[in-house]
Structure 1
């Protein structure tokens, strides 16, 4: 806890696994409730970017708009047709995800195991992930029961027998990232902006982080509340985070290679993980608790995800941020900051009441994406009011970035 002083207890655990299908249903319901129109099965055929608008041909229809966000996956048509560079490293292995029935599941050892041929991860009774270091040659190659069994036996080194094959999908460890996330009126997010292996399960969270960062900024620009230069902060803030995840993915692959050097390196990393500092470092990377944006302020909380403050009236930060507005929390009511700041003009939701635990802060300003833009420990209440007024400034909400 000494390394993470800005964390508070939360009703959500450190790990919250959810199936993609369930998450997509919740997000789609929310988007449609807000008026979004979702057209499924309407792939993008062409994109034409002009000085004032973008034209898209998709699903046999033509759409025009001031801005386009390409979220169309790792083989993004938007990225390719708009001339984005997609740099990175080629795959070293093909990953196979199998759902099977085994004649004798005890033949395989549960858990993840490196072998002379690659990696085998077995989750009984029949969920298997395999890594075959073939340079990605097996990607998108269909498997029947017999070929899946041969692959499983070769990689695992065990004489496992598959009696039924229910699902077989492939993926690779190819790691690429767009060198720029914006070109004119077109922006990229999610897998269209970066691809990597699913090792560690960080890809979905990375895409959601892109959407949260870009969404409120694009909304402010579209509503005329900020200059479009605000959109450049999307690349400045999210591109380094994507690059770190790609580095993490490549490091995992380095530990998996079927070589004596990788086995020795993996043993050393395992020893480090057994130490307090090593375990803390790995937890910070996996959970993202060490992530901090450089927003040009000296307070150590600025640029981090907001702590999950619990107000004395029972509301939590998640509920306060649900409206998509910035939030000004004033824990020390004596400062009367909400009276000194025109929060309505700035589109800020202001809350002036104590928290169950304010972490020693008197006030803080949280961006719509949950990132702390400014914080004060109460040492200078006058300076606090001045900082918020400067944030409102002539640029309006643009200054929140």
Structure 2
């Protein structure tokens, strides 16, 4: 069998991309190296992840949000286990997120700065457990007809003008395209000869679950010291940053004695570790592929970019890649994409990836154990506690400020579409579940209706007034929920359709 798309990697990015491609009717095979997707590192507390606004909106628009947001009871039966695992959730003020451990708070955020956000089931942030998210996405992919092969690690590939032949798990698979979603040490990226550039690590990060003879010697919360940083969440969850240039990461076994030595040095205490239940290391290495496509090979997620987990933006960045790539690759495979559509995946997503890498580097600069970093930290603490400062950091951390450069002067073009409520109560998010583009015509324009009749079945045309127009008369929304055009002139609407959907509208010119 020749599949339309082969995906290397069955994590959240690969699974969500597979769902997007199946939504367009393509045949998809996911090849995952690990036979059992379950892992203690994907469960709480280490498996806790924060979802940003673009990710939550993507799940909402595909009918996944209810499953993702469903509360999972904590072990003690109190509340949601993802939220209860976050040490900052027990503060007196409600934190909205953090920058290098410095929190901004909801009561400081000026939402009036975001005039094009409307009330929606999709909020600005939420906590999830990695294993739970993967389970939900795998179930959705399977229900949609995605074939998932576990225990089939990618080995090599050959590509031609017609397609790709992949060797994985000792077997051979054929597809028209190959997407590498196989993580930071991506074998697809290496085999494909992608250039991967960036900055080397400054520290080894530790995440550990331990038992201590004297836990009261550590103060809960995040602490910067003269030798590094540590976070303690009772009774025994520890995170540390040891500024050793990343020397320890994946070079030696992680022993109880080693964790105790590093913890004592960074915390400045003589705490005694009596048991090491679970431990892993990570670094702040920040690298990015210079291009996300080579021929019929594409990269998404950590295969395209890696950085420290500071701020928890890696998962969101990868899922954003999948959302952007899915409909463009599908249109290319169907043969109805306009020239250059697939190239916009890299041109739109690469700058977003570069911004996140720099955001991660900036946090590292604040964490360094030096007098200059402590002085800079004091400045950032003052700024983040102002109304403008908290709003700025919320925009970045929550992804509210995300905008693609699509041309056009209107500030909504290139941003996520507002969740308009139609006269019959239907929300815009519900209208995007089919994976098609959407033209909303608030005035029922005869000209726009005539144009819509020429667009085939790739765009859904809706003529309806809405609860709050935001000063608009119409807008064109891409399948990924991004606004491509707002009501200015019917000719511009036709040009927007030609650019993003490749529909033949030549008789209109």
Q: Scaled by the length of structure 1, what TM-score is found?
A: 0.93
User: Which structure 2 residues correspond to residues 205-284 of structure 1 after superposition, within 5 A?
Assistant: 205-227=316-338, 229-284=340-395
Inter-partner Cα distance in structure 2 for 1:335 and 1:283: 41
Indicate the structure whose relative CO is greater, using CA pairs within 8 Å and at least 6 residues apart: 2
**1:6: Cα distance to partner?**
0.8
Contact (CA 8 Å) 2:338, 2:500: kept in 1 or not? no
* Pair 1:131-2:218 in alignment: no
Q: Is structure 2 residue 152 aligned with structure 1 residue 42?
A: yes
1:55 aligns with 2:157: no
Partner of 2:273: 162
Counterpart of 2:312 (choices 201, 220, 224) is 201
Deviation at 1:346, TM superposition (A): 5.2
Equivalent residue in structure 2 for 1:386, among 471, 487, 491: 491
- Deviation string 1:294-353 (CA, Å, 9 cap, x unpaired) is 111111100001112233333323322111111112222366733542265151122222
Matched residue, 1:319: 430
Given the alignment of the two structures, is residue 114 of structure 1 paired with residue 249 of structure 2, yes or no?
A: no
Question: For residues 98 and 228 of structure 1, do their structure 2 counterparts lie closer, same or farther at Cα, with a shift above 3 Å needed?
Answer: farther
**1:86 and 2:196 aligned:** yes
- CA distances 1:243-297 after superposition (whole Å, capped 9, x unpaired): 0000000000000001111111111111221222222221111112112111111
Alignment size in residue pairs: 393
> Post-superposition shift, 1:228?
6.1
Q: Is the CA contact (8 Å cut-off) linking 1:74 and 1:192 kept in structure 2?
A: yes
Q: Deviations over 1:103-151 (max 9, x none)?
A: 3433211211111111101122222110011111111232232322222
Question: Secondary structure of 2:282's match?
Answer: strand
| Partners of 1:121 and 1:319 in 2: CA distance | 41
Q: Which deviates the most, 331-340 or 68-77?
A: 331-340
Deviation at 1:79, TM superposition (A): 0.7
**Unpaired segments of 5 or more residues in structure 1?**
none
Partners of 1:343 and 1:109 in 2: CA distance: 66
Which of 95, 98, 115 is 2:208 aligned to? 98
Greater shift in the superposed pair: 345-354 or 185-194: 345-354
CA 372–392 in structure 1, closer or farther in 2 if over 3 Å, else same: closer
Q: Spell out, residue by residue over 1:138-181, the C-alpha distance to the aligned partner (whole angstroms, 9 max, x if none).
A: 11232232322222111111232333322101110000000011
What CA distance in whole angstroms lies between the structure 1 residues aligned with 2:191 and 2:154?
Answer: 10
| Post-superposition offset of 1:227 | 4.7
Q: Does 1:177 align with 2:177?
A: no
Aligned-pair CA distance for 1:399? 7.5
CA spacing shift, 1:167–1:387, aligned 2, 3 Å: same
Q: In structure 2, the residue corresponding to 1:66 is in which secondary structure?
A: strand
TM-score normalised by structure 2 residue count:
0.74
Equivalent pair of 2:478/2:500 in contact (CA under 8 Å): no
Structure 2 runs not aligned, ≥5 long: 1-110, 505-509
Instruction: Indicate which of 420, 438, 441 corresponds to 1:330.
Output: 441
Counterpart of 1:65?
Answer: 175
Paired with 2:135 and 2:465, the residues of 1 have a C-alpha distance of 36
Residue 348, structure 1, aligned to residue 348, structure 2: no
Q: For 1:121 and 1:323, how far apart are their aligned partners in 2? A: 43
SS state at 1:7 partner: coil
Distance 1:93 1:341, change over 3 A: same
Aligned equivalent of 1:397: 501
Q: Distance in 2 between the 1:198 and 1:250 partners?
A: 11
* Counterparts in 2 of 1:396 and 1:8: CA distance versus 1, 3 Å: closer
